[in-house]
Amino acid sequence: MIAIIDYGVGNLRSVEKAFIAIGADAVLTNDINTIKNAQAIVLPGVGAFEDGMESLKKLGLIEVILEAISRKTPFLGICLGMQLLLEVGDESNEAIVNKTKSNLIDGMAVIKGSVKRFPNIAGLKIPQMGWNTVSYRIGSRLFEGIEQNQFFYFVHSYYCELESEAEVAGLTEYGVLYHSALEVDNIFATQFHPEKSGELGLKVLKNFVAIATAHSKEEKKC
């Protein structure tokens, strides 16, 4: 069973429906025991970095997530779920006219790196909302069977900057060239929304389910 973490951030039902559409046994939940016993975990979400962290804290889910990741449970972060894996989010206050101040919010620090706001460039609409291409790392398990530079659906005002290039699984350009997917050990994440990206997005989810299934079979052998 795949546990899709419900922490009240964004339209999470669409993620659940996408997994069900590909035949996966998936449930939307914030029950700690259900998440602990899951074959794999998905952390979706849209919205503010700080709100996401606060919601996870209130539900007591941060330790649950960290423990599951340390046990090598396959984990997939989507959009905000990818950003929350990083060390810090730079959430500039929209009400501050001079834009010189920022609030640095601690993330879960699973992956070294930070979340930054897209630069103010003439003609660059923020948030990025719509289709954009992803150039992925050769050998990526998450993008297996997908051609390079295909279009996926994005909705975000902030982007991830990972410290280690070895953990970067995908690159996308929008004003800056940024890290749009990560992959290290049992941890996977995409800045784009696979559940909103048509057949290619479903293929990404199928690849994750295959990874989780293979992991489960290996565990049973032990």
User: Which are the catalytic amino acids?
Assistant: 79, 193, 195
How far apart, in whole angstroms, are the C-alpha atoms of residue 205 and residue 74?
12
* Among candidate residues 37, 74, 19, 59, the one with its CA nearest the CA of residue 28: 19
* Among candidate residues 176, 210, 209, the one with its CA nearest the CA of residue 191: 176
SS3 content of the chain, % helix, strand, coil (to 5): 30, 35, 35
Measured N-to-C along each axis, helices 49-58 and 62-70 cross at an angle, to the nearest 10 degrees, of 90
- Residue with token string 């992991």: 215
Please give the angle made by the CA atoms of 213, 219 and 221, to the nearest 5 degrees. Answer: 110
Long-range pairs for 193-198: beta carbons < 8 A, 24 or more residues apart: 193/78, 193/79, 193/152, 193/153, 193/154, 193/155, 194/18, 194/78, 194/152, 195/14, 195/15, 195/17, 195/18, 195/44, 195/78, 196/14, 196/153, 197/151, 197/152, 197/153, 198/153
